[in-house]
């Protein structure tokens, strides 16, 4: 089973390979005489910058949400230490019981 980060990484790699292939095709000297190719190259570069900016913003948002979740968990653990300890004990006992049955 692949994780979400592996799936995203694979998709990103495929996209980068596709863009690289497209750029090498558009960089062909045989196509320099076609005015539409210059426009297409510019649109491709603009699109790549836009995608990179969006990816950076998404990564920053995800990191901020992870920090907020960690801070909330930390606050809860400090506000309710006995609940956290009892939940950890229950999970540990359940895992121990399941492992002992094997």
**Interatomic CA distance for residues 76 and 44, integer angstroms:** 48
pTM above 0.85, yes or no: no
pLDDT in tens, 71-102: 998 998 899 899 889 999 999 999 999 999 87
| pLDDT attached to residue 20 | 79
Spatial contact of 3 and 28, defined as CB atoms under 8 Å apart: no
Q: Between 15 and 65, whose confidence is greater?
A: 65
Please determine, for residue 2, whether its predicted confidence score (pLDDT) is greater than 60.
no
22-67 confidence digits (pLDDT tens): 777 767 767 767 778 777 777 877 887 888 788 888 888 888 999 9
Number of folded domains that form the chain: 1
Domain residues for the domain of 37 are 4-101
């Amino acid at each position: 089973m692949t994780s979400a980060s592996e799936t995203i990484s694979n998709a990103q790699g495929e996209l980068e390979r596709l863009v690289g292939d497209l750029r090498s095709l558009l960089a062909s000297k045989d196509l320099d005489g076609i005015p539409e190719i210059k426009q297409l190259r510019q649109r491709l570069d603009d699109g790549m910058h836009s995608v990179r900016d969006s990816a950076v913003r998404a990564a920053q948002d995800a990191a901020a949400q992870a920090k907020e979740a960690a801070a909330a968990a930390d606050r809860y653990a400090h506000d309710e230490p006995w609940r956290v300890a009892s939940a950890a004990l229950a999970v540990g006992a359940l895992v121990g019981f399941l492992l002992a049955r094997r």
